[in-house]
Amino acid sequence: MYKLLVLDVDGTLLNDEGRISPRNKEAIRKAQDRGVKVVLASGRMFFITKKYADQLNLETPLITYNGALIKDKEDRIISHTPVPLGVTFQVISFTREKKLHLNTYFEDTLYIEEENRFSRYYQNRYGVTPCVVLDLLKFYKEKKKSPTKLLVIIEPGEMEKWFPLFQEKFSDKLYLTQSEGRHIELLHPQVSKVFALKKIVDLYRIKREEIIAIGDGVNDIEMIKYAGLGVAMENSSSLVKEVAEYIAPSNTKDGVAETIERFILNKSGK
């Protein structure tokens, strides 16, 4: 019997309009009625992820920033593992040198050095208004505290060009992953969604085989591999599908609901 359902948000729980479909909502409600705990695991900021949790009436902790921050519904920190400050300075300098746009996240606020087409794309897509500080190096040196996450936005189709460069420069210092096809995410070297998932597992004393994890992105691969049942969405890349035990319909065809109905509500034979 499955006791924990872990859901990625973008491309998994949400459809292409950025909404939770009525069928997904109903299936999640029925899973909760069966006693299954439902946890959202997102690369997004806490305050945005919480909006979706509130729509689903979830009482469980939220995995945000790809696992760097776990908070409960009352905004209390369960775990926070920020990017080391020294490496933060290195990333800021490197992105300046390469003329790349850098998002930095501190205390659930987005800080950037300048508004440009990349910041406008991000704001339009995710509804996050950035705070412009002009000099990120000075900002973090004065704060003497680390950002929760760093995110580089690149042009579409340039991941194969830039990601290997960041791996070469920072893979021994940070955890690097990709999202949305044009985001390079840099986090504390211990951090990932599965890093946070293990903390949730310890909190609820749930076994791996009692977990279903559903996702669509490269940053979901580790938690899909870790779960008792790892599920990839049909809209996932081949890298994600290769590690999954089950391929659900796409996010536009209520793949989350179909998985719940099949494996938790037992509507299709399991």
pLDDT tens per residue across span 21-77: 999 999 999 999 999 999 999 999 999 999 999 999 999 999 999 999 999 988 899
* 249-259: average pLDDT: 98
Question: What is the separation, in whole angstroms, between the first and last Cα of the chain?
Answer: 10
Give the number of other CB atoms < 10 A from CB of residue 178: 19
Which residues make Cβ contacts (< 8 Å) with residue 179, sequence separation at least 6? 10, 43, 66, 185, 217, 218, 219
Strands 77-80 and 101-106: unpaired
Q: What confidence tier does 269 reach under pLDDT thresholds 50, 70, 90?
A: very low
Are 184 and 162 spatial neighbours (Cβ–Cβ below 8 Å)?
yes
Task: Please report the domains of the chain, with CATH numbers, ordered by start residue.
Answer: 4-80+191-263 (3.40.50.1000), 85-187 (3.30.1240.10)
**Of these residues, 8, 10, 216, 254, which one is catalytic?**
8
pTM confidence score: 0.93
Residue with tokens 């800080």: 111
Q: Has 216 been annotated as catalytic?
A: no
Are 196 and 67 spatial neighbours (Cβ–Cβ below 8 Å)?
yes
